[in-house]
Amino acid sequence: MAESDFPGWHGTTIIGVRKGDKVVVAGDGQVSLGQTVIKGTARKVRRLSPGGYDVVAGFAGSTADAFTLLERLEAKLEATPGQLARASVELAKDWRTDKYLQKLEAMLIVTDGKDLFVITGAGDVLEPENNIAAIGSGGNFALAAARGVYDYMDDPEQIARQAMAIASDICVYTNGNLTVETIG
């Protein structure tokens, strides 16, 4: 599969940073259609609370597809309260095997303040090695920037904001209008 065909690699930047007892998920607000900016203030980071259990999720890719996946994730979390890893694996299995879900083009970063995962349509539930996860067209820029400042900043929100500022300066599909959610 070519990188340009990979679901979610165009049109946004989402980053998750864990440091100390906090996890921050930040996302930009730009929605693009081809080379045109349609909206600059979209909320691509959301707080889910199935059964009083807080989870923060950020998405890159098709908005309708991402909302379908977020609804499925909420249902999995309601079935397995307090078990983000299990709910994420169940979602990834469904996404990989269900004919309808296989066509969805999005990626998710999810956290409950303890775990931090990237969930993909390839059936992956990935836990980042360096406490930083990033997806979307500017994901690699944000990831590199966050790794560069991680040891020099104590607050994960500052790290995420700095990384997103750098990504928005480089990636034309990413803007500086951020939604930031903290958990933990």
- Residues recognised as catalytic: 12
Cβ neighbours of 179 (radius 10 Å): 17
Helix (H, G, I), strand (E, B) or coil at 76: helix
Question: Would the annotation count 174 as a binding residue?
Answer: yes
**CB distance 147 to 153 below 8 Å:** no
* Cα-based torsion angle of the residue sequence 168, 174, 176, 178 in order, rounded to the nearest 10 degrees: -130
Q: Which two tokens stand for residue 18?
A: 């864990």
Q: Which two tokens stand for residue 30?
A: 């730009």
Question: Would the annotation count 168 as a binding residue?
Answer: yes
Beta-bridge mates of residue 17: 24, 132
Q: β-strands 132-136, 13-19: how paired?
A: antiparallel
Helix (H, G, I), strand (E, B) or coil at 120: coil
**Closest by Cα among 183, 180, 176 to 84:** 183
Distance CA 40, CA 168 (A): 12
Task: Extract the annotated binding site for Na(+).
Answer: 168, 171, 174
* Residue stretches of the annotated binding site: 168, 171, 174
